[in-house]
Each structure stands twice: as C-alpha cells, then as structure tokens.
Structure 1
Amino acid sequence: MRLLKPLCLFLITLAVLPAAMPIASAAEGMWTLDQLPKDAMQQGYGFTPDASFVDQVMKSSVRLAGGCSGSFVSPNGLVLTNYHCVARCVSQLSSADADLMSSGLVADTPEQEMTCPNIELNRLERITDVTERIAKATQGLSGQAYADAKTAARSSIESECVGSEGAIRRCDVVELYRGGVEQLYQYTRFQDVRLAFAPEYATAFFGGDPDNFNFPRYNLDMALLRAYRDGKPAEVEQFLPIKPEGAQPGELVMVTGHPGSTQRLMTVAQLETQRDASLISYLLYLAELRGLLSRYEDEGEEQARIAQADLLFAENRFKSGEGKLQALLNPAVFDLKRRQEAELREFVRADPQRQASYGKAWDAIARAQQAYRKIATRYNYIEGARGFMSDYFRTARTLVRGAEERGKPDSERLGEFNEAGLPRLQQLLFAKTPIYPEYEKLKLGFSLEKLREKLGADDPFVKLVLGKESPQALAARIIDGTTLGDIEVRRALWKGGATAVAQSKDPMIQLVRAIDPLARELRARYEGEVEAVVDKNQALIAQARFAQRGTDAYPDATFTLRLSYGEVAGWDENGEPVAPFTDIAGLYARATGFEPYLLPPSWLDAKSQLSLETPLNFVASLDIIGGNSGSPIINRSAEVVGLVFDGNIHSLGGAYWYDERSNRAIGVHSASLIEAMKTIYGATSLVDELLAR
C-alpha cells in the first residue's frame, strides 16, 4: 500500500478500546478462500459465496511477486492494479529522453506494450494442507536442528510441487496461524508481463503527502498490465468484469487480494520487541535515507527521475512503520493485547494437560526476543544488508551465495536458493534494468556510513570492510571497478558457478566473499536462537488457541490470497460525518497549479469534455493492509466496482487490530477509471476490452 507522510513522528489519537471489545467485529478479517465466514456474511448481508463465486475470484486474482495485488479483467490477460505497484517498472522503462513517469503510457495495440523486467504475476490454483508432514519432519527437534529440518521439509515439498514446470509453476509453503497450520500454495507463474497503460505520476499521486492517508482523496492510482505466454497475450478462462457504474452507497463490497503481513496473533513479548527494538531504529534509518534521496532529487531533473521510485518506496516503508509504532505506543492497544494473552494463558493453566503441552511457549518466545535484541543491529546491517544498500551488492550476493548453494542438495540450501525458487531469482538477476553508477555510489556510501556509525569505527567487521578508506571512497572505488551492470558478466558468473566466482577480480564480488562468512554466521544464529524458537512455540500457542476457540478465526496476513468484506460507507470524525465519495469536480476544485496539487496538461485540456459528477474515490469498511494495493473491490456478482489503493489515517494500526467504526479502505471508483481512460487518454481499445463481457 502506498504510504506517504511528512518526516516527523506524531501520535494518532486512537479511540479508547472498550474493556469488553470483541476479538472480531462484523467486517473484520482477512479470510482464506477455503475458510470463508459464510454464516456471518449471510447474516450481515444476505450473501453466501458459493463454490462458483470462490473459484472465479481465486482464478481471477493475481499477486505481483514484488509485493502487490491485481486481477485479470479480460480474457486476454489484461491485469488491473495500482500505478504505485508498477512505478518501479515505469521508472525502469523511462530515460532522460522519454520519461514515462511524467508522460504516462497508452498502448493502443499489444505490440506497443512494454516489458516490465522485474514483475512476476502469480495466480493461485490449489491449496494443500502439509501441517502433518512438516510436524513429523521437525518432531522432537529444537534450535538449529529444528530450523534445518523445517527448511529441508519446505524445500522438498515445494520442489516436488514445482517438478519440471518451474517456468510456469510456483509453489510456496505458507505458515498460517503463526505456524499452527502449514499449507502448500500452488500458483501459475507469469514472468512475461508488459505495461499496457499508466497515467502520469502527477495524476496517480495527486495530493502527495498532504492528502496521503487522509480522505477525501482525488487519485487515479491505477495501471494496466498484460500477462503473456509464449510471446502472446495469455488466454485466461476466469476474469472479473468491470462494472462501469461502480460502487454504490451502502452496498456489500469485497476485496480479493494479498495482504502482506499482520501481527494480530503475536505475543506481547514480540510486540514489545517491535515497539522498542525494531521499529524505532528502522524509522530513523528511513528518515535519513529519505532526506538523502530528497537532496539528490534537488540536484536536477535527471536525478529526480532516477530517485523518484526509490523515494516513493522509502516513504512507503517509513509511513508503514510509523503507523505500527503509533499503534504500539497507544496504551489502549497494548492493554487489549495483554488482556487477550492473559485470557488464553489462563485457559491453558486451567487444564494440566494443556499446561504441560503449551504452558511454556510464551516464556520461550520471550527469551528468544531477548536473544534477538542482542544481535539485532549486527544482523540487520550485515546479513540484512542495511549497511550495503546497492543493486550491485544484491547482485553480487546472489552470485556468491548461488555458486555455493547450488552445489548442495536442495534440502540443505538456504531457502531462497531451492530449486522451486530459482526461476524468480534468475528473473531478477538477469533483468534488463538500468543501473546508475553515480546514484549507486550515493546509496552505498550512505549505508556504509551508517554501518560504521551503528557498529563503531573500532568494530572488527567495520575494519574488515572499510580498511583505511572512508565509506564514500570505498563506495566509489568498488562501483567504478565493478562490471556487474553487464548482464552477460552476470550470466557467465552464474553459469561458471563456484570456480568463476572464486576467480573473479570484481571488487563487489570480492567484498561479498570477504563478509559472507560472518553474515552466514549471524543468519545461523538468528535462525537457531530466535526464528526456530519462535516458530516452534508459536505453533504451540496456535494449538492452544484452536483448543479455546476452534478454527473459525482468520489467520494473520501472509501475502497469500484473502477475502475481506464490508460496505461502502463513510465514518464519523470527531462527531462530523465523512462522506464516502469524492468526484472529478472535486479534483479540479482542489487543484492549485502547484505541487502536489498540480494537474497535468491532459486533465486541464479535457475538463470540458468530462462528466464532472463522476465518482473518483470512495471508502469502504474493508479490512486491508499493505500488499492489498491493487486489489479489486468487487460486488456480489464478482464485478469490479473499485480498486484499492490506500487506507485512511485510522487504518495505520491495522497490523495489530481492526476497528470497524473508523478503519476504511480507499479505492478508485470504476466509473472514473473508465471515464478517464476514454475521455482524457483516448485508450479506446483498452476500454473496449475492459467493458466486453
């Protein structure tokens, strides 16, 4: 989800949570499609999704592997998503001579569509429960042995699922209910994905920071991709037709998308670690990074074009983390979490058998949090690569580790190098994306400086990396000397494996080789002392929760396909009603002629031809989180009536809880989507394709 906001931290005054607040309100929940709350939907809205409905929305929904959602909206592979989900692609396809971020793109024919080198689409085909198999593989183990056995079992399951179809099939083992359930998600993979339509950046992000996470809004944050198979537009049997009339006041609407991550089932100790040890340090890092990128943008038009996408995503991560921190700093939220945990622990203590099985899990997780705090900074800056921010570094690490890991049996590799995951990894490694050396020097120099600051100038690792050089001098020397920007060089190193990597004189390869032993050591320590302990004991807590409440609750978000439902409705803000719709007339009224309220010429020229009363944006009581960006908003006939692109200010704490009274998802209304494409952009062929049944 796009999250932009000014640099300063500020506290949101959340409504005080009632002492007897229910665990789930009517519209709460990001539900897996195999366990929808059908009775609640029938009671609340007189609608029960049948098997045909579920199959259609499952086969029509897609995941953008980089972290967004979308949906097939025509039988010819056309995919509707957000502009901000494809902003990096638009940036990669741009140049100093043809800046698509400023001009937009309309492809009148498939031949004019442009390949997005990094985008992969995944369509869910099948869900299989593998809980018992993984439990058997890890039975009686703990620490690193548990982590290794679990990784091996997951890799084996995923590789068996993919088989020889890696080019068109993706398989992921997914933990639900914090490890209480393990499921295998099998996807159809589309790696040939092309951009068919994108408006101007100024249109998609009209209002910028001042309007972000607020409502009313006036954005056309939409784009169209097309999936290809064997060089031709993919033919799909299931898709979601566009309803040009769009969402109506008070109607039932649903979202089918891929929410990234929520922490509603975390223990109090885990939430305290997020609040005290993780979020603040990361936010400070992002704040400085945003300042660096903003200054770089000010150096000229070309610098602004190069940094625009990175700045957008830095602000995205900053605002997301800021919203989480604000929620965790609210005493009422933590009181609720403590109360819920105390109730579950009391339920466990009430039965000797339950106590023996589950009673020690919370304390074990708390000890793991203390272990994490001891290594968090080193782990994040070294293994997490926060101290090595460069596309060249990421490429070098993939090559160095890939050379070593691919020589091992699949079950013994680092998870990201198993056979099932190699098609996506190789797509990113060999993508024809531009890299700008001077920009890379800026980012790497900054991150190396932060590495020295956080670990200390006398730290042996810092001395190993910097020697006698300054962060900026080292960054300049390595990037001036690397040849990893050449795809053929990368192919040769990948194909040559361990021998080619060992013989390479490339300074970035040599840097990664020098630091990799310590990075791997930190990773092993994290996996054995923290991750394995948390995974094992979270699964026990999940079993206790199942014993208390059954399995009719929804799991935390895991970037897997979910359905949320609610209705088109505004909310009360300090006693004043907030209307659920804005219209195109309001957009023109809000325009000032200055950033961020500057309309592009295409909109100014077309004003007299537009139906100004056309709804532009709207809100609905849908439970969403980051990752839902680009999700279709559909009605009970599985027609697209809107497109999720953001949430209101009250949704920022959605990682931890949901309040139906004020949490709202914000969407582009399908009527404005059609009106703009037809009247402003002249995208006649695409509109005809969208409206064809």
Structure 2
Amino acid sequence: MKKILLSLITICMLVPSSVKADEGMWFLMFLERLNHRDMQKMGLQLTAEEIYSINNHSLKDAIIQFNGGCTAEMISKDGLVLTNHHCGYDAIAELSSAEKNYLKDGYWAKSRAEELKPSSLYVRFFVRMDDCSKRILSVVNPKMSEAEREKAINQEIAKIEKENNEGGKYTVSVRPFFQGNEYYYFVYQDYKDVRLVGTPPESLGKFGGDTDNWEWPRHTADFSMFRVYADANGNPADYAASNVPLQPKHHLPVNIGGVTENDFAMILGYPGRTNRWMPAGGIEQNVKFAYPAWVEGSKTGMDNMKKYMVKSDALNLIYASKFAGVANYWKNRQGMIDALSKFGVAKTKAEQEAKFNKWANKSANKAKYGNVVATINAYYAMTNEKAQHDNYLVQLFRTSAFGTVGRSLGRQLDIYVKSDASKRAQMAPAILEMATAMHKELHIPAEKDILAAQLNLYNKKAGYVLAPIVEKLAKENNGDFTNYVNATFDSSIFTSIDRVKAFLDAPTEELLMNDPLYVLSNELVNHYLVKSDELLKAQNDFEASFRLLVEGLRESKIGEIKYPDANSTLRLTYGKVRALPEDKRNDAAINNYTTLDGQVKKYKKGDLEFDLPTRVLEMNAKKEFGRFADKDGSLHVNFLTDNDITGGNSGSPVLNGKGELIGLAFDGNIEAMAGDVIFDKNLQRTINVDIRYVLWVIENFSGAKNIVDEMTIVK
C-alpha cells in the first residue's frame, strides 16, 4: 500500500505547541509526529507502528465500531467481543421474552451452539485512512453557495469511495474535519453475523439506573459480550450455521494486575460528536433554548413510558431500550445546561471571538474574515426560538412510535396503494413484517398517553411558529389533545396489525390520505423540515462563516484546540488514572476507584435501580473474590481516568502502556458535562469498569469460566 503523506503546511497546522496529555481525540495516523513522545514520557511502551499500521497487524485491528453507535474490542483469538451492557441493550432486549428474560436475569452461553443471533447487529473494523483534503477542496471555490459546494464535494466523495472499496469488499467513508477545511477517507470492513455470548443481569449491568447515570462514585457492571462470525475464509457473511468464529488480526491481552493513581491509560474508540469549535452564540442557544426544550420533552416521554413499564416485566421489556436511550440524553442535556452555565463557557468563547474579530478586521484579513463573527451571531439570533421549537418536536418524534409513522410505514403504504397487483403482491409481506416489528415495540395505551402529552407540551411551550395542524386541533379541543388522540387511535389503520392487514387486502388511496395519524405525522414532519428562503440564506451564510471562523482561528493561532471535533471516526486519547477530590460517598481509600463493598452499601431490596442478586451479597460477605481481588483485599468495581471521551466511546477499551486491557469505558462525570464543548483538565474524568470486576462477574458470579478461559490473561 502507498505510504501516507502529510504536507508540510498541514503538519505545521496540526503540531501542537504544548499538547495537554489528557486532552484531545487524536488521529492514529499522526501519533508518531504529534503524540508519541508525550505518551512515552507518561508510560507508553508501544511504538506508534504497534498502535497503527496499514502494512502489519496492530492495536487498531482489535478496536471495532459496535452497531454504528458504540465501541467494542476483540479479546480472544476466536472473535470474542467486549462492549458495554448499554451498547448491547437493544440486542439483549430483542432476544428476551417474558419467559426468557435475558435482560433481567442475564445469560451465558455454555457453548458456541448456545450463542444467540439478534436480527440486526454488525461490527466495523478499521482498515486504513488517508488525507484527501487537497483533492476534495480542489473542486470547490469561494463563489459557490453551500448547496453547490456540497454537491461538488459529494460527487468527488463518490469517486473516492468507489476507488477504494475494492469492488464492494470495503465500506469507504469520506469525512470532513475542522468544519470542512480538511477531508480524510476511512476504509472499513463490516461483519453482520454477530451473536450474543453473555450478559450480566440488569441489576448488575445497569446498577444505579438513571439516578447514578453520569455520576461518580459508580458501581456498575456495564458490559456485555458477543462473538463475530465469518465464512470459512474469514470473510464477512450473512448468518449461517456453517459460519465460524472470526480469527481477528489482533486481540487484546487482559491484564488483571490492577491500576493505581497516575498509571498511564489510553483509550481507543469511536467518539460520536464534540462541538469544541462551536461559537459563543451556539452555546448560548443550547443553554437557553434548545437543551431546556430537549430536557422537558424527554421527561414528558419518559414519565408516560414509566407509568406502564412498572406494571409488568412484559411492558418493561417493550420500552426498556427506548426509555434508556431517552433517559441517557435527558440527564446529559440537563448536565450540559448546568455545567456550561456554571463555567461561563459562552463568555469564554465570546472573548476568544472578540480577539479573532479584531484580527479578522485588520486590512490583510478583512476581505476574507471581516464579517465572519457578525454573520454567525446574526444566524443564532434568528434561530434561537426555532431551536427551542424544533427540540420540543424532535422529542415527540423520539418518544412516540407514531410521531413519524407517515414517513415510515405510511410511506410504504402510499407506494403500495399506487402500485399494480403484481407489485403489491411483492410488497405485502415486507410491509406486514414492518408493521409487526413496529407493534412488537409498543403498547397502545402507553402510546396514546405519550402522544397526547407531547402534543399538549408542544402546543403550550414550543413557541416560534407552531405546526398549523396543531394550532387547528388545539382550538377544536380547548388545548387538550387527550380526547383527540384517543379518537384518532380508534380510527387509524396504523394502530393494529389487523387493520394494516385489512388495508393490504382492500387498499384505497382515500382511506390512507384521510387517516388521522398519517395526516398528523406528515404535517408535523413537513413543518419541522420546511425552511423559508430567508432562513436558507442565513444558514448558507452561517455555514460558510463557521468554516472561515475555524480556518481563521487556526491561522491566527488564537484558538487553542489542535485536534478536530469527534465525528464517529477512530481516535485515541491518553492520560492517566486520576482521582477526584475526596468524596464521603465513596468508601475507597483513594477516590479513583469503587469497591463491591460500596456497591452492596447502595443495595435496596426490590428497588428497580439498586437491587442486587442475593448471590452477590453472599459472595461479598465471604470475600469470595478469587484471583480478581485487589492487593488491598477488596474487589474493585469501577475506576477513574482523565481521558478525553464522549458518546460513541461507550465500550472503548482502557489500555495500559503495553496495550493490555485494564478496563472498559462507559461514562463521564456530570461535573464535566461541558466536556463536549470545552475540556476541563481539572474536572474531566472517564468512568471505567475495572476488568477484574468484569471477569469476576463472568467467572465467579456467573460460573462461565469457559468464556474467560479463551482470553489471554496477564498478571
């Protein structure tokens, strides 16, 4: 393969004048130039080539993106995968039933034959990356509108993807960095036959629930295990009984020696999104308009799910996954509001932009950069109330199964009703399967309450310009949508599988077009998507100015950030095991770890968040920790590092200086919830599951030693 080259100009722009070892989400291809010396000083014992190589097996070959939204790692020569419990949650819930509730009770396959295949689950291996900035940027010019620019770039991206996918063998993704000032392409290989190997019971895997989420001290076994299968030649293949466990190019050794304060720790993973280049106006908009609406809309949906989830295990299973996803970001966004406000992040950014604006309006820079800050601020002023409105509407879409039904099942029925008999015969089974899958994940009484509550909230609080259909219905129903929703559900073809079947048997366009849920859903989505010419112009100017702001901050060296925002591409962050100030809630000797004793002290019998299996209580009382006990005699559960992570890093491996697995990243601390926008070197922490606790749960608590035996254990 050709060597990866980096222009001298780009090197100068990327090399940090003073790298903060605990800050940054770094590209693997630049480690040798930018980070390796720093990492060695802190305790790294690997070469840069041992971490990332395109010609030889390296650490990156063990790191995978899990189902598009999390990270995972290969931990055996036979395709064993470790990730977070909350990353495997959807698959575990799908495989569960009221009779075999793996989510509640846990599951461990005693043999390969007992491993369970979810309907849809994939992992993605990173093959290589390269810089294509010069090529992409050569097809655009400053005179283009943003739409014209996007079209030209997408055409060039399509060529790059085709050139590098080797006839469909690989998935190729070209991604923008530094707000579209640089571009890199990434080559991946996807495997779709991924099976559940094991999961702890929810009382361990989700111990602490929403109360402890984003909090320290934590005491949770947030892990689950899967296995990747391939054909006989190691190639990706659809599920088949003849498939065999994948033999990965590299798997991580597991070190059970434990960690201490200031030990080197690095994390590789797929951080989803940060906004550290976000202007002050964007931060202010989020804090005052967007996030409060997000929080209130999320809570409204959660409250109405919870009313039914507590009634039975069956109803809890239906909504468990959706509730967990909504709850995660509900607490995150509230934490963001609090942290961004407390630390005055918008003010700090505004001061930086004032310095930039002064530089931008010097004669040599004015033509290019002079209007950048003013244009950005004007855009945010125009869209503040719309941001609030849109977030209320988005939470309706996220929490109601019928909020976007017009664009999902409804769209298929629209095509169906307009097709001839032959086409309908082909479409009918897939539509019925789609409807069945949809209804498997909803409970009609709950959906009535969710939709009515969200419409009531949207009507009262969204402001801006409400969807005309909501204004009309509010007048007709005195501002209360309860009766309207009940009547709508009683008459809609979407609210039962039998009604969908009846429509397939006797389809009429008039029936579909007049269906109240179809009409409501489509009008809400259309209203969300519509943009005036004035708004489109402002958005065009904003996007161009934001790109220039980032370019100018880098050129002027006013900006301190030397790495691109996260965007679900593989990154490395390095730092150390690092305690927070003493906390009376933690019984550990140093506030950088927690113990099983501490977990048991939180135990509340029968509580949905803090119950524990009786066996855990008994084993802790007898100190049955086996080879996974720390030298202090306790069993360490979770520990802290000062690595720089965000959503998408869930499930990422925490590695020591030798590249051995010491933990599993799963959360951050709420005090540093501003971390997606600004890194706080004093407060920012990553919360990790100690790998010894993971192995104790598998081997000692669950009796699944067969799974531990296939790992490479190092002391």
Pair in the same fold by TM > 0.5: yes
The residue type paired with residue 22 of structure 2 is A
Partner of 1:325: helix, strand, or coil? helix
Q: What is aligned with 1:685?
A: 706
The residue type paired with residue 119 of structure 1 is L
In the alignment, structure 1 segments of 5+ residues that lack a partner are: 1-21, 406-425, 494-498
Change (3 A) 1:605 1:331: closer
1:247 and 1:642 in contact (8 A); partners too: no
1:441 to 438, 448, 453: 448
Matches within 5 A, 1:21-170: 25-36=20-31, 37-45=35-43, 47=45, 49-55=47-53, 56-139=58-141, 140-150=143-153, 154=157, 157-158=160-161, 162=165, 165=168, 169-170=170-171
2:164 and 2:172 in contact (8 A); partners too: yes
The residue type paired with residue 625 of structure 2 is L
Q: What per-residue deviation string (whole Å, max 9, x for no partner) do you get for residues 215-251 of structure 1? A: 3322111111222333323332122222233434422
Q: What is aligned with 1:14?
A: none
- Does residue 1:369 correspond to 2:414, yes or no? no
2:547 to 536, 539, 546: 539
Partners of 2:324 and 2:522 in 1: CA distance: 32
Q: What is aligned with 1:566?
A: 575
1:248 and 1:568 in contact (8 A); partners too: yes
Matches within 5 A, 1:27-426: 27-36=22-31, 37-45=35-43, 47=45, 49-55=47-53, 56-139=58-141, 140-150=143-153, 154=157, 157-158=160-161, 162=165, 165=168, 169-229=170-230, 230=237, 231=240, 232=243, 233-350=245-362, 352-373=363-384, 375-377=386-388, 379-380=390-391, 384=394, 386=396, 389-394=399-404, 396-398=406-408
2:679 to 640, 643, 658: 658
Change (3 A) 1:88 1:151: same
Change (3 A) 1:278 1:222: same
2:28 and 2:51 in contact (8 A); partners too: no
Partners of 1:131 and 1:574 in 2: CA distance: 48
Question: 1:574, CA displacement in angstroms?
Answer: 8.5
Q: What per-residue deviation string (whole Å, max 9, x for no partner) do you get for residues 317-344 of structure 1? A: 1111112111221254334323333333
Partners of 2:181 and 2:367 in 1: CA distance: 17
- Does residue 1:615 correspond to 2:636, yes or no? yes
Partner of 1:183: helix, strand, or coil? strand
Change (3 A) 1:297 1:430: closer
Question: 1:150, CA displacement in angstroms?
Answer: 4.8
Partners of 2:307 and 2:495 in 1: CA distance: 27
Partner of 1:299: helix, strand, or coil? coil
Q: Which has the larger radius of gyration?
A: 2
Q: What per-residue deviation string (whole Å, max 9, x for no partner) do you get for residues 369-408 of structure 1? A: 23323533554456x4735743455464146679999xxx
Change (3 A) 1:208 1:45: same
Partners of 1:504 and 1:223 in 2: CA distance: 43
1:147 and 1:532 in contact (8 A); partners too: no
Q: What is aligned with 1:415?
A: none
Mean Cα displacement is larger for which, 578-587 or 507-516?
A: 507-516
The residue type paired with residue 216 of structure 2 is F
Question: 1:316, CA displacement in angstroms?
Answer: 0.8
Mean Cα displacement is larger for which, 438-447 or 561-570?
A: 438-447
Q: What per-residue deviation string (whole Å, max 9, x for no partner) do you get for residues 158-200 of structure 1? A: 56655752xx643333222222222222221223322211101
Partners of 1:150 and 1:404 in 2: CA distance: 33
Partners of 2:466 and 2:367 in 1: CA distance: 48
Q: What is aligned with 2:6?
A: none
The residue type paired with residue 561 of structure 1 is L
In the alignment, structure 2 segments of 5+ residues that lack a partner are: 1-16, 231-236, 416-430
The residue type paired with residue 558 of structure 1 is N
1:628 and 1:644 in contact (8 A); partners too: yes
Q: What is aligned with 1:460?
A: 468
Change (3 A) 1:298 1:323: same
Partner of 1:31: helix, strand, or coil? coil
2:44 and 2:657 in contact (8 A); partners too: no
1:85 and 1:629 in contact (8 A); partners too: yes
Normalising by the residue count of structure 1, what TM-score does the alignment of the two structures yield? Answer: 0.81
Q: What per-residue deviation string (whole Å, max 9, x for no partner) do you get for residues 497-543 of structure 1? A: xx9999967765565555665454339986x3455433322222222
- Does residue 1:632 correspond to 2:653, yes or no? yes
Q: What is aligned with 2:611?
A: 598
Partners of 2:76 and 2:552 in 1: CA distance: 45
Question: 1:208, CA displacement in angstroms?
Answer: 3.5
Normalising by the residue count of structure 2, what TM-score does the alignment of the two structures yield? Answer: 0.79
The residue type paired with residue 318 of structure 2 is I
Partners of 1:473 and 1:288 in 2: CA distance: 18
Q: What is aligned with 1:581?
A: 593
- Higher RCO structure, 1 or 2 (CA under 8 Å, sep 6+): 1
The residue type paired with residue 390 of structure 1 is S
Q: What per-residue deviation string (whole Å, max 9, x for no partner) do you get for residues 482-508 of structure 1? A: 459879x89x99xxxxx9999967765
Change (3 A) 1:305 1:38: same
Partner of 1:315: helix, strand, or coil? helix
1:388 and 1:448 in contact (8 A); partners too: no
1:557 to 547, 552, 566: 566
Q: What is aligned with 2:14?
A: none
Partners of 1:199 and 1:63 in 2: CA distance: 22
Q: What per-residue deviation string (whole Å, max 9, x for no partner) do you get for residues 57-95 of structure 1? A: 322111234522111212322211110112222222222
Q: What per-residue deviation string (whole Å, max 9, x for no partner) do you get for residues 619-667 of structure 1? A: 1111122221111001122111100111223332211222333322111
Q: What per-residue deviation string (whole Å, max 9, x for no partner) do you get for residues 459-499 of structure 1? A: 52325788967744555566564459879x89x99xxxxx9
Partner of 2:179: helix, strand, or coil? helix
Change (3 A) 1:588 1:524: farther
Partners of 1:516 and 1:338 in 2: CA distance: 34
Mean Cα displacement is larger for which, 138-147 or 393-402?
A: 393-402
Partners of 1:436 and 1:120 in 2: CA distance: 24
Q: Percent identity?
A: 24
1:440 and 1:479 in contact (8 A); partners too: no
Q: What per-residue deviation string (whole Å, max 9, x for no partner) do you get for residues 40-66 of structure 1? A: 223444656421222423221112345
Q: What is aligned with 1:5?
A: none
Change (3 A) 1:389 1:217: closer
Q: What per-residue deviation string (whole Å, max 9, x for no partner) do you get for residues 271-315 of structure 1? A: 122222211221121222232233233334433333333332222
2:396 and 2:451 in contact (8 A); partners too: no
